[in-house]
Amino acid sequence: MSDDLIPSGAAPAPVLDIRGLQVATQSSPAKPILKGIDFAIAPGETLCLVGESGSGKSVTSLAVMGLLPKGSLKAVGGRIELEGDSLLEASPTRLRDLRASRMAMIFQEPMTALNPLMRVGEQIEEVLVMHQRGLSARQRRDRVLDMLDQVQLPDIERVHASWPHQLSGGQRQRIMIAMALVLEPKLLIADEPTTALDVTTQKQILKLIKQLQERHGTSVLFITHDMGVVADIADRVCVMRHGEVVETQPIDALLRRPTTDYTRQLLTAVPSLRPRASREVADREIVLEAIELEKRYGQASRWARLAGKASAQTLAASDINFALTRGRTLGIVGESGSGKSTVARCVMRMIEPTGGGVRVMGKDIASLGRAALKPHRKRIQMIFQDPFRSLNPRLTIGTSLIEGPVNYGTPREQALARAAELLELVGLPKDALARYPHQFSGGQRQRIAIARALAMEPDVLVADEAVSALDVSVQAQVLGLLDDIQRRLGVAVLFITHDLRVAAQICDEVMVMQKGVVVEYGPASRVLGAPEHAYTRSLMLAAPGRHWDFAGFRPLKSVFEETSPVTATAR
Amino acid sequence: MSLTSPHASPGAAVAKPSRRRLRWLPRQRPGWAVIVAAVCLALIVIVAILAPWLAPHGPLEMSPANRLKPPGEAYWLGSDAYGRDLLSRVLYGARVSLMVGIGSALISVVVGLPLGILAGFFRGLDAVIMRVMDGLMAIPSVLLAIAIVSLVSANLWTVMAAITIPEIPRVVRLVRSVVLSAREEPYVEAAVSLGSSLFTVMWRHLMPNTLAPLIVMSTYICASAILTEAILSFLGAGIGTETPTWGNIMAEGRTYFLIKPSLIFWPGILLSVCILSINLLGDAARDRLDPRLQKRGAAQ
């Protein structure tokens, strides 16, 4: 963290100055979304806007860009000044000129932010065509190639002529950054630009933004919910909640001495990267076992084989072996495309494994038919990632909860009584039975999904990114609930996650996957505490904010370092 | 810290904005055009049901002495070339039109919905069902009707069959596309892992997703069936003249068009109002059931 970027007492005029900004819905009665926001960004500074979902951080960025959805949101008070220009009073034409030339934005989803029907080089050139009329085609092309070089894309001539779908997520985000910075704007707004990316890619992108910022002296308004990212890149932090700024402080002060309870709460909710102390093995009964499990996609069809064509197969997972004992948690960790979800879905028999075996309570279910599978299906239940989609929106909570037990012959009344008990177990009121999913928040829905899985009295819970869609404080609650349930009911958990912090907090054993194969498997304390495989190490090193102990409000000293020898020191 | 008491948070009481729920109850007042359309359609339905009591004369009651009378005391809308009361005939004609419209819409949904769900759910069946549907789609309904009528006599059922058969593929395609996307929802996978039977998964978890677009689609089918029936009757390939329909009233009136245009005008205007009303109500239903389309205007 370069301290010289923090504005000193005699600060230069801010690039962006927001005073008392109020945004409200245009419905009647108008509902306030932003209730008077104040902050300023100095030249060359990175200000992180942090908050949980619904805090208004994205609305703030849209208001600055003049992109509030017409007809539903409107700025009703306050001022936004970009280098002295009042943005709220600017005409649409003026705003369009300012966008790209003096302020630019990059979005969360690089997949949808690019036009799929235009080569990426042309898309960047389009910005120049719109805003810098005097350039010749040759000059424009040179500028774009220079920009692609600056965002460190390989083989820039080829990338220039590529379509968006030919590039990876990280490369697309680099294109977005190139497009945003090609006119050298004074202000770059980044709205969760790395949330959709893998950690290693995220690290590269964050580094790139920092480098470009230093080279061009750009100010950055960085919106994120990830405290780790904040700790890595922010100069100052502005914490938002319910449309209000709770606290604005330089990063170091905020992490060491948060002044408000809310910030303190946010920071303590960040799971530590240090694996938790391993629990003793109470029970050695193996409830779930995978033996040389394999899933190939694109099995060659009979016709292709007859025609002697080479089959274009993808090995999504191969040679997966693990054993999960009662009451323990096994984490499968990896980046997108590592095959971790494939394993989970094979184990659940949502997809058919193409080889190997899955034993649930000693019985191989990998090749059972539909009917034979049914009695074993209830032994293993799943919790899904997106709590907004995993409950049928048209059924009451009660109906959803009793569906499973009723399928297995439990009388309705008895199942309903049990459902009410389960709701209490997961911390929801009994009257939730008669309500519909849309009446609950994401965290509450995830509790309901857990209750639904538990209604089957399973031996194994498979949680596929079960807390990834939740805010960090809610995430802490749900993880606490899972832990509590595991202790009380002795259920084993197969926990699939990309988040090493979560894995460190909940797992007893960890299996790290990369490109469909297991690269490391062992107790969490060893795999995450002293990783042996180069890939695990690179994952750990890429974890944002790994030098900081958020809950302890102090920097961490003894996380293993990039330079430390690979040899097992902490065995 | 409130981290351990989830239901103390206000979120338990405050409903989040619903993303997917059907809003059956009108939130804002519907536009005047929709109200007018609803009133018109309601009137047409009522007079069709009450035709035997409302009609001043029998629809087939001929009176050679009173041919082509102008509107007056005895014949409110005048009489036709056989001295039959035009008003009575138009009222009875509404019955056939509405029956054909509603019947075709119902039958095509009843047949198309299960086929569509099966096609969307089972990949093997999909290939078979959809190729058959492609074949059916290629048949123009008017030609099919003429073919059927030339084979068997034309009555309400053959006309309805002729109109319905080419509509079924459209319903199947719609349902299939909805099912294809809905089956990827995690709650469907959750139902599978809860041990629900395939029928439960299809009926309880997939089918309700198709209802909103189906309601909208069936209004369009209803309107187009009424129109097709009128065209068939007008061409003489429809229901025989012993049953008055708007189409065959117009067909008969065509001969006297120059001396008595009202023979075409009244059934024509009712037909137009009826179809316009149904389409307007269909658009309104679509806007209400599918909020994504609300801003794109009513053009289909």
Interface contact B3-A265, CB threshold 8 A: yes
- Name the percent of chain A in helix, strand, coil, to the closest 5: 40, 25, 40
Q: Which residues of A touch B187 (CB under 8 A)?
A: 389-393
Confidence of residue A6 (pLDDT cuts 50, 70, 90): very low
**CA-wise closest residue to B224 among B50, B108, B95, B136:** B108
pLDDT per residue as tens digits for the range A343-359: 999 999 888 888 889 99
Residues pairing with A94 in the sheet: none
Interface contact B12-A392, CB threshold 8 A: no
Give A188→chain B minimum CA distance, Å: 31
Interface contact B3-A269, CB threshold 8 A: yes
HSE at residue A13, side-chain half, CA atoms within 13 A, is 6
What pLDDT was estimated at residue A529? 86
Interface contact A428-B7, CB threshold 8 A: yes
Q: How far apart are CA B261 and CA B281, in angstroms?
A: 30
The DSSP line for A492-545 is EEEEEES-HHHHHHH-SEEEEEETTEEEEEEEHHHHTTS--SHHHHHHHHHSTT
Q: How far apart are CA B70 and CA B131, in angstroms?
A: 55
Residue B164 phi/psi, 5-degree rounding, is -75, -40
Residues pairing with A208 in the sheet: none
On whether any CB of chain A is under 8 Å from the CB of B18, the answer is: yes
Interface contact B6-A391, CB threshold 8 A: no
Q: Which residues of B touch A384 (CB under 8 A)?
A: 186, 189-190
On whether any CB of chain A is under 8 Å from the CB of B29, the answer is: no
Best mutation target among A350, A389, A410, A462 (most B Cβ atoms within 10 Å) is A389
Q: How far apart are CA A477 and CA A502, in angstroms?
A: 12
pLDDT per residue as tens digits for the range A373-398: 888 888 999 999 888 889 998 899 99
On whether any CB of chain A is under 8 Å from the CB of B202, the answer is: no
Interface contact B6-A477, CB threshold 8 A: yes
Quote the tokens at residue A248: 């604005």
Interface contact B194-A390, CB threshold 8 A: no
Percent of chain A at pLDDT > 90 equals: 39
Interface contact B6-A443, CB threshold 8 A: yes
What pLDDT was estimated at residue A329? 93
Is the separation of the CB atoms in B228 and B161 below 8 Å? no
Mark residue A105 as left, alpha or beta (left: phi above 0; alpha: psi -120 to 50; beta: remaining): beta
Interface contact B3-A385, CB threshold 8 A: no
Angle at the Cα of B6 (from B1 to B9), degrees rounded to 5? 80
**Helical H segments across A102-168, by residue range:** 110-113, 120-131, 137-150, 156-160
pLDDT per residue as tens digits for the range A30-74: 888 999 999 999 999 999 999 888 888 889 999 998 888 888 888
Q: Which amino acid is at A412?
A: R
Residues pairing with A355 in the sheet: A294
Quote the tokens at residue A479: 């993880």
Q: Which residues of B touch A377 (CB under 8 A)?
A: 193-195
How many contacts, defined by CB atoms under 8 Å, are there between A and B?
Answer: 103
Give A308→chain B minimum CA distance, Å: 25
Best mutation target among A348, A439, A478, A505 (most B Cβ atoms within 10 Å) is A439
Q: How far apart are CA A490 and CA A131, in angstroms?
A: 63
**CA-wise closest residue to A88 among A64, A69, A71:** A64
Q: What is the pLDDT along chain B (300 residues), one digit of tens a residue?
A: 333 333 433 333 334 344 444 444 445 567 888 899 999 999 999 988 988 888 888 888 777 777 777 787 777 777 777 778 888 888 888 998 899 999 999 999 999 999 999 999 998 899 999 999 999 888 887 888 888 878 887 788 888 988 899 899 999 999 999 999 998 889 999 998 998 899 999 999 999 989 888 988 999 999 999 888 888 888 888 887 788 888 888 888 888 888 888 888 988 999 999 999 999 998 888 777 765 544 433 333
Q: Which residues of A touch B205 (CB under 8 A)?
A: 392
Question: What is the DSSP secondary structure assignment for residue A330, as one 8-state letter?
Answer: E
What pLDDT was estimated at residue A564? 43
Interface predicted TM-score (ipTM) of this complex, two decimals: 0.78
What pLDDT was estimated at residue B118? 94
Q: How far apart are CA A377 and CA A370, in angstroms?
A: 10
Give B198→chain A minimum CA distance, Å: 10
Best mutation target among A396, A403, A448 (most B Cβ atoms within 10 Å) is A403
Interface contact A392-B6, CB threshold 8 A: no
- Look up tokens 């809950």; give the residue: A551
Q: How far apart are CA A258 and CA A554, in angstroms?
A: 11
pLDDT per residue as tens digits for the range A492-531: 999 999 988 899 989 999 999 998 999 999 999 889 888 9
Quote the tokens at residue B7: 């239901």
**How many residues would you count in chain B?**
300
Interface contact B12-A436, CB threshold 8 A: no
Question: What is the DSSP secondary structure assignment for residue A313, as one 8-state letter?
Answer: -
Q: How far apart are CA B221 and CA B227, in angstroms?
A: 10
Other CB atoms within 10 Å distance of the CB of residue B68: 17
**Cβ within 8 Å of residue B293, ≥6 positions away:** B286, B287
Q: Which residues of B touch A350 (CB under 8 A)?
A: 189, 192-193
Confidence of residue A558 (pLDDT cuts 50, 70, 90): low
CB interface of B with A, residues 85-144, below 8 Å: none
Interface contact A407-B208, CB threshold 8 A: no
Is the separation of the CB atoms in A208 and A124 below 8 Å? no
List, in sequence order, every beta strand (DSSP E) within A91-243: 103-106, 187-191, 219-224, 236-241
Give A334→chain B minimum CA distance, Å: 21
Element housing A451 (H / E): helix A442-454
Residue A302 has pLDDT above 70, yes or no: no
A contact set with B (CB within 8 A): 261, 265, 268-269, 348, 350, 374, 377-378, 380-382, 384-386, 388-395, 403-404, 407-408, 427-429, 436, 438-441, 443-444, 447, 449, 452, 456, 473, 476-477, 480
pLDDT per residue as tens digits for the range A308-333: 555 567 788 989 999 999 989 999 99
**CA-wise closest residue to A568 among A535, A533, A544:** A533
Quote the tokens at residue A126: 């389009």
Confidence of residue A362 (pLDDT cuts 50, 70, 90): confident
Which among B12, B19, B194 has CB closest to A456? B194
**CA-wise closest residue to A220 among A47, A405, A87:** A47
What pLDDT was estimated at residue A560? 55
Q: How far apart are CA A115 and CA A305, in angstroms?
A: 38
